[in-house]
Structure 1
Amino acid sequence: MYQASETRYENMIYCQSGESGLRLPHMSLGLWHNFGDNSSYENMKQLCFTAFDHGIIHFDLANNYGPEPGSAEKNLGLILKENFQAYRDELVISTKAGYEMWAGPYGNWGSRKSLLASLDQSLKRMGLEYVDIFYHHRMDFSTPLEETMGALAQAVQSGKALYVGLSNYDGKRLKKASAILQELRCPFVICQNRYSIFDRTIENNGLKQAADELGKGIIAFSPLAQGMLTDRYLDGIPEDSRAKADARYLKESALTPKRLALIRELNALAAERGQTLSQMALSWVLNSSEITSVLIGASKPSQILENLKAVEDIYYFTDEELRIIDDIASRQVYNTR
């Protein structure tokens, strides 16, 4: 039986999500990859154990994470049942609905029927009475915003979620949604968006500024640009890499000679700072005061341990370092989606 490390809270930083009372670890574990039915269950357990033993108390999912859709929630549910029952009140579990999950008009987007049915299914797969955060996963302009936000409010009112969040929204839509949720007295506390050295979308679409003005937290996903901001591709594309194995995510065509040259420049700067490229990339995201937490994925426990050094050893950036990073990124900013 798993027993958590007694020192698990010693080195992690916990930040308030905006102006709420919810505190998240500076680094959270995303289950987007490596928790589907095509992955090793034993490895999934070790990833969760390693994360929790080092203060990563937040596990983030969505209804369609897999493959197959739903399998990540199902596998985490089994891990929770077998190993984490004594620690449920220490954990923050989040899930989402809004991307395609099942056939027909209600397995997608943001209708009241779709969101509430999806949440019920997610809770059943994970064997939980509630999730800590329930997100609408993406903007839906075909459904009245009042309906979507009303469904999130009901999820809280029914006791099936403690807080709600919005994922992949822009600043304009965020402000409208937040006003509705405030009127409904719904505890909306966090936005989940893609953010990295290479992807500044939330700076350009107003999300980052709007979240700050509204007192909402931001949790950043894909901080390593689907693996580009690591040392994995410095010498080309390995045959066993995600770029070759799974075209749904990082595409081999994204790793052009020009982009690889930019990655090598960033790697050289990281080395001057005494960090790996991935550590610097994570530190850069966390350097922003608007960011509550950064979501990492991992295929093996050692990757979690390496990434944790970006939190355990705080590396501040000089103005010149930030200028260099911005200059490198501006030469070819790349959105990995």
Structure 2
Amino acid sequence: MSYVNPGGEYARDSRYITTRITADGRDGFPVEAGRYRLVVSRACPWASRAVIVRRLLGLERALPMAIAGPTHDERSWTFDLDPGRRDPVLGIERLRDAYLARHPGYERGITVPAIVDVTTGKVVTNDFAQITIDMSLEWTPLHRPGAPALYPPALRPEIDAVNEVVYKDVNNGVYRAGFAGSQKAYDAAYERLFARLDWLSDRLEGSRYLVGDTITEADVRLFTTLVRFDAVYHGHFKCNRRKLSEAPVLWAYARDLFQTPGFGDTVDFDHIKRHYYLVHRDINPTGVVPAGPDLANWLEPHDRAPLGGTPFGDGTPPGPVEPEEAVPAGHGPLAG
């Protein structure tokens, strides 16, 4: 299974299933507690966004979650963490089965996050960017008391603008460097990535959060890339101008978020490393998974509180992680 485009730039296949789950059910899928199953892998940064937002908003009971294993083959993500290697609710071994139930001739990527309609076993959507926005706007009646406003109306234009450049240059930028098939493509991606990281560092030097004075959708989207940076992107994807831990502002910002309930308590560094180093055999043909880096420094003081703002604004932090969704012991500094 090859990820590198020989001799050229990496281009992400962005053809997603864009059906939406909405309060009014206009696409045929109304918001309904317990009807849908969010399928994720903790290894995937796009899926991790949905895991974080779901937890911040308190949607655990309304939108149950299936966790696929950290690796996949050319066919699909698999439920190899479950007894019998089968999701206990959907009754399937591979996420691919839910895609084919909806579209028998489906030929695009079998991606996470995906939301599956439990009543039919068919995937509803894998449009990762819209999924988290809809969690904020369409699932509102099912939010927990004290849920933060991650996509407040007054800040949406600025959040959208920040998200757009962060996606192009950082979230997808690390992949454009890692999967570059030529020196020219790699050099361009590398320069673009670190120019944007410098821009973000300047923006965050005097502001605790990316937009406004509380956490928003923008912080969630940047965090899932930053938390993987030293463990994967610095070495595996050759994004090695400096480590995140060598960038004072971004490192403190990332630690601040990591130590905020709903962020670090969803991160599984073991799954993250096993996914990238085992699946991308065209980059890492030996399949050797590095032992480091040391994770203890994620819990060091971040000292960003004096910048002002509070993580949840007028809201409250989420409660403890549900036991069945806790990151396994030894998979991160907060795990176990």
Assess same fold via TM > 0.5.
no
> TM-score by structure 1 length?
0.31
Q: Which has the higher strand share?
A: 1
Which gives a bigger RCO, structure 1 or 2 (Cα 8 Å, sep 6+)? Answer: 2
> TM-score by structure 2 length?
0.31
